[in-house]
Structure 1
């Protein structure tokens, strides 16, 4: 097995993120991570204080990942289109990393949640679109409304709560259009 010096914190966190997605929070053990990176479990403690610290690091990495994905959506000249693209990217992220998504938006009290600083950086693109769509005065409220709606929809979707049939993708798009209409505080052209 490689020595601990050859195992980076980044590799440990990535292994933890992958294990979280495949085995859930219960399967995220120091032993499982050690096996994945090819060291003995006690060697991990040279990089990570304990499992809680590992979960915190995984949560922070997941928040950064979300922020990086949202940042790829540039604030263009059409804030309505930008809002739709952000909402779609948010949902795509949740589907790609559902367990990590839950660490961000449904943190367990025993595990803590992401730092305010990390969340603030991650949602900068949402805030910019909110400013462009709803105006500076209502930007925070608009960003919170968008995030709450998207999170509620996605959380229900991931939990399998939509049992009445119909096209879930179509329902999400319907919500994007209606929410955009409601948040658009710009004067009509």
Structure 2
């Protein structure tokens, strides 16, 4: 009779997300994940080739989650309202899981990097709304501008970089409003 598996790829990825959230990318090791799923590290190699494959699987799961969140956010048919909803969904995700959010913008070695098609799928809602606002010829430029602005704002916010007082909630809304209005006129 074959041995009953003590873990699965899904359990390993879930544990990887927990380790990432608690210890960051440097803490995401086979040993720490094995401890979370209740096996010894060598047992993980039956399911995941190595640490690079583990990081890639976790990154792919993060991309899929973000893609779903963004798709769910942008559904009104009003491009400016949808852009605000996309920005809010991204900010909520960044606040809820800052390590996973950071992983989205971390350059990874090729062996750890997710399939580029997964990146494209995860940002499809941003590209779609950007195209509605700026037109097809400027959609990619618009999406990059929105992403760069949001990423910079969210990183500064997470690091406590806004030291002059005032409401960061209001500043975030103001910024995305300016972008939405500017892109629709651009």
TM-score by length of 2: 0.91
| Residue 123 (structure 1) aligned with residue 123 (structure 2) | yes
**Is contact 2:74–2:85 with CA below 8 Å preserved after alignment?**
no
**Is contact 2:53–2:112 with CA below 8 Å preserved after alignment?**
no
Matches within 5 A, 1:125-144: 125-144=125-144
**Is contact 2:127–2:143 with CA below 8 Å preserved after alignment?**
yes
**Equivalent residue, structure 2, for 1:100:** 100
**Is contact 1:130–1:140 with CA below 8 Å preserved after alignment?**
yes
When the two structures are aligned, how many residues end up with a matched partner?
184
**Is contact 1:16–1:54 with CA below 8 Å preserved after alignment?**
yes
After superposing the two structures, state which structure 1 stretch, 175-184 or 154-163, moved more. 154-163
Computed over aligned residues only, the root mean square deviation of the Cα atoms, in angstroms, reads 1.9
How many Å apart are 1:107 and its aligned residue?
Answer: 2.9
Unaligned runs of 5+ in 1: none
Output the CA distance in 2 between the equivalents of 1:113 and 1:159: 25
Output the CA distance in 2 between the equivalents of 1:127 and 1:75: 13
**Is contact 1:104–1:113 with CA below 8 Å preserved after alignment?**
no
**Is contact 2:133–2:183 with CA below 8 Å preserved after alignment?**
yes
Output the CA distance in 1 between the equivalents of 2:109 and 2:165: 34
How many Å apart are 1:180 and its aligned residue?
Answer: 0.8
Unaligned runs of 5+ in 2: none
How many Å apart are 1:112 and its aligned residue?
Answer: 4.7
TM-score by length of 1: 0.90
How many Å apart are 1:26 and its aligned residue?
Answer: 3.0
| Residue 35 (structure 1) aligned with residue 41 (structure 2) | no
